[in-house]
Amino acid sequence: MLDLGPFCGDTAIYLADRGAHVSVTEYLPPLPTPEPEPGSSVKAEAKSPLRIDEADGAFDLLLAWEWLDFTPPDRLGDFASEVRRILADDGWLLLFALNDPAVKDSAMRRPGRYRLVEDNQLVRTPVGEVARRRWTHPTREIERALAPLSIQGIHLQRSQMREFLALKKSTSPPKRGRDRR
């Protein structure tokens, strides 16, 4: 299992106590692709590569708390490609994204560290000193970005947090049993 985001020992311990082998990777969302100045003949700068430093097909489960909210709209597909790359065949993605464009609180503009402290309790703590731009991506745009995966369900919580559950279907043919003769 990969917990994508700021390290939180409480969450890793909570999941490990339930039998999961947990890895944690810091994910720094990319900056938006710069636009050229109007009337300028200078081309826009190339996109910085979006890479999650993990091996191909290394994880059966990926938890991505709200990092998509800090990923610019023009980079959603890049994020989804990286998620697909690091998921094993038949691996699962559990992604959380806020659906409230009215959020104006500056604390909510800092990425969060999530702590699972009990079966029914999750605590969010903003991290980092610098506020980052937070986008509220339409559900349809997230679905389009996740198209290489098979979306199994989308759930909207009362808090306006959306949960996306997606599966990376196996690319290899199913194994056949022995022929009985």
**What average pLDDT does range 56-75 have in this prediction?**
89
**What average pLDDT does range 56-72 have in this prediction?**
89
First to last CA, the chain: 41
Pairing between β-strand 121-126 and β-strand 150-156 as defined by DSSP bridges: unpaired
pLDDT for 70: 86
Pairing between β-strand 23-25 and β-strand 59-64 as defined by DSSP bridges: unpaired
Residue 112 CA to residue 6 CA, distance in Å, equals 7
Domain ranges of the chain: 2-31+49-168
- Counting every residue written for the chain, the total comes to 181
Pairing between β-strand 2-4 and β-strand 59-64 as defined by DSSP bridges: parallel
pLDDT at 27 over 70: yes
Residue 72 CA to residue 79 CA, distance in Å, equals 10
pLDDT for 174: 62
**What average pLDDT does range 36-43 have in this prediction?**
65
Instruction: Note the Cα 46 to chain centre separation in Å.
Output: 23
Least confident of 48-52, 71-75, 80-84, 156-160: 48-52
Residue 7 CA to residue 24 CA, distance in Å, equals 6
pLDDT for 7: 64
pLDDT for 78: 92
- Residue 141 tokens read as 């745009």
Return the bridge partners of 165, or none: 94, 153
| φ/ψ of residue 31, rounded to 5 | -75, 155
**What average pLDDT does range 168-173 have in this prediction?**
82
Task: Provide, rounded to the nearest whole percent, the portion of the chain with pLDDT above 70.
Answer: 82
Least confident of 13-17, 89-93, 131-135: 13-17
pLDDT at 92 over 50: yes
The verdict on domain 2-31+49-168 having CATH code 3.40.50.150 is yes
pLDDT for 32: 73
Cβ–Cβ < 8 Å for 73, 47 = no
Supply the mean pLDDT for the chain: 80
